[in-house]
């Protein structure tokens, strides 16, 4: 069976890694890997080069321009759909596997739907009320035939969208599998890799634009930087924003901040899965509005300061401290992170995202499922 997987961002590839490896190692399956989006952009570190060390890439599709305005994003989506449709025609996959809710993945799904290629979607049913990813994710659900969710609640939401329960499976989150399988770096190894030494206190900061609150990126991120400036004996590791609308504004602000604070801060376009998860071992918490603070950080029993509305609606472990987009609230949340009571609470945090066998579950389901006319779907009505 020819299984095509599309990846367009660094975090997504990290999550997909063990699934890709499992497909590659299965003698009944043929992996077709299409790489696009940020992976092929010099601005985001040409991360396709890291992928080439792990897998053979079937097709590279460059779609990003230097324009991160709504017009530029829409142009990238259009180019992605055109190029991906041509790639599918050449590769002739029997099924497409995609993860998440980014705009390039929406284009991948659209092109596959028109080509009558069944789609298996990972991480449906989740909500992010502050970003247009919310609408993209649910749209992909309606284009997909198989659904692999991270929790029972997310499974129920996919069914609520009219999907047949027989094709919706709670398999847990891929992040748990990465946590269990990766051999992480020691502190000394990590410090040598990133050229930066940990301090008495350390925070990992990842902040993305809240795309449903347009033209707020600069103000919101400045509030975070102002809060960080009030901290003592704290080193800051930044990972930069994705190629979302106004993401460049945040990245320019990070560069400016780090250049004037070289002793206690450092920034990366992409740490990669190994260095990112290794970093989570040695920081006190994750600050920002990234989903990794909700899914990956709790696995390390560290706290997360989740700022604003970008991730609003997700199921959140008790390790997450939600706060508003102002420096006072952010500063108070960081102080709460270090309190004795909260640190004790972190020790009791339980994993709510599955047993780490996600890849094997996905492959087993795909192999036993008949794909004949699976994309001819009848809307599943719930009896209210």
Q: Write the CATH number for 17.
A: 3.40.50.2000
The answer to whether 100 touches 8, Cβ cutoff 8 Å, is no
Same structural domain, 120 and 168: yes
Same structural domain, 117 and 236: no
Rounded Cα–Cα distance for residues 218 and 345 (Å): 34
Same structural domain, 298 and 216: yes
Query: In which band, very low, low, confident or very high, does the pLDDT at 130 lie, cut at 50, 70 and 90?
Result: confident
**pLDDT of 230-253, one tens digit each?**
999 999 999 999 888 888 999 999
Same structural domain, 115 and 250: no
Same structural domain, 133 and 42: yes
User: Cα torsion at 37, 39, 43, 45 (round to 10°)?
Assistant: 170
In a domain, 28, yes or no: yes
Query: In which band, very low, low, confident or very high, does the pLDDT at 384 lie, cut at 50, 70 and 90?
Result: low
Query: In which band, very low, low, confident or very high, does the pLDDT at 10 lie, cut at 50, 70 and 90?
Result: confident
Domain count of the fold of the chain: 2
Same structural domain, 42 and 62: yes
> Which residue spans within 172-233 are E strands per DSSP?
201-206
For residue 332, the model assigns a pLDDT of 98
For residue 31, the model assigns a pLDDT of 98
In a domain, 221, yes or no: yes
Query: In which band, very low, low, confident or very high, does the pLDDT at 201 lie, cut at 50, 70 and 90?
Result: very high
Rounded Cα–Cα distance for residues 158 and 177 (Å): 23
Same structural domain, 15 and 162: yes
Same structural domain, 190 and 162: no
**pLDDT of 277-305, one tens digit each?**
999 999 999 999 999 999 999 999 999 99
Structure tokens at 353: 């995202």
Rounded Cα–Cα distance for residues 254 and 268 (Å): 10
If you average pLDDT over residues 358-367, what whole number do you get?
98
Same structural domain, 333 and 364: no
For residue 11, the model assigns a pLDDT of 86
Structure tokens at 76: 């990238």
Q: Say what percent of the chain tops pLDDT 90.
A: 87
For residue 69, the model assigns a pLDDT of 87
In a domain, 379, yes or no: no
Q: Which domain holds residue 306?
A: 181-347
The answer to whether 304 touches 319, Cβ cutoff 8 Å, is yes
In a domain, 377, yes or no: no
Same structural domain, 335 and 360: no
Same structural domain, 127 and 72: yes
If you average pLDDT over residues 19-26, what whole number do you get?
98
- Quick one: CA dihedral 335, 309, 35, 359, positive or negative? positive
């Amino acid at each position: 069976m020819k299984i095509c997987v599309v990846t367009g961002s660094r975090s997504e590839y990290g999550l997909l890694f063990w699934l890709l490896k499992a497909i590659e190692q299965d003698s009944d399956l043929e992996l077709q890997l299409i790489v696009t989006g940020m992976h092929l952009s010099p601005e985001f570190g040409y991360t396709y080069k890291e992928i080439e060390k792990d897998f053979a890439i079937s097709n590279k599709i460059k779609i990003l321009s230097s324009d991160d305005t709504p017009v530029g994003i829409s142009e990238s989506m259009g180019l992605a759909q055109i190029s991906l449709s041509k790639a599918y025609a050449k590769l002739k996959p029997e099924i497409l596997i995609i993860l998440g809710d980014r705009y390039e993945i929406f284009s991948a799904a659209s092109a596959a739907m028109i080509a009558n290629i069944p789609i298996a979607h990972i991480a449906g049913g989740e909500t992010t009320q502050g970003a247009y990813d919310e609408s993209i994710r649910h749209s992909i659900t309606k284009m997909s035939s198989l659904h692999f969710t991270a929790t029972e609640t997310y499974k129920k939401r996919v069914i609520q969208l009219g999907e047949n329960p027989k094709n919706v499976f709670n398999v847990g989150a891929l992040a748990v599998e990465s946590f269990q399988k990766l051999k992480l770096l020691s502190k000394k190894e990590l410090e040598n890799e990133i050229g930066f030494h940990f301090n008495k206190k350390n925070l990992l900061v990842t902040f993305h634009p809240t795309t449903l609150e347009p033209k707020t990126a600069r103000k919101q991120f400045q509030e975070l930087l102002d809060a960080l400036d009030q901290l003592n004996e704290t080193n800051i590791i930044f990972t930069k924003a994705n190629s979302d609308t106004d993401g460049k504004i945040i990245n320019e602000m990070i560069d400016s901040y780090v250049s004037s604070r070289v002793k206690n801060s450092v920034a990366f376009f992409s740490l990669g899965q190994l260095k990112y998860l290794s970093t989570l071992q040695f920081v006190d918490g994750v600050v920002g509005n990234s989903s990794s603070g909700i899914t990956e950080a709790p696995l390390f029993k560290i706290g997360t300061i989740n700022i604003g509305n970008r991730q609003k609606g997700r199921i959140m472990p008790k390790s997450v401290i939600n706060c508003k987009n102002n420096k006072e609230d952010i500063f108070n949340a960081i102080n709460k992170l270090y309190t004795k009571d909260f640190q004790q609470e972190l020790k009791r945090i339980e994993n709510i995202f599955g047993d780490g066998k996600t890849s094997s579950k996905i492959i087993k389901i795909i192999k036993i499922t008949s794909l004949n006319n699976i994309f001819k779907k009848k809307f599943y009505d719930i009896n209210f």
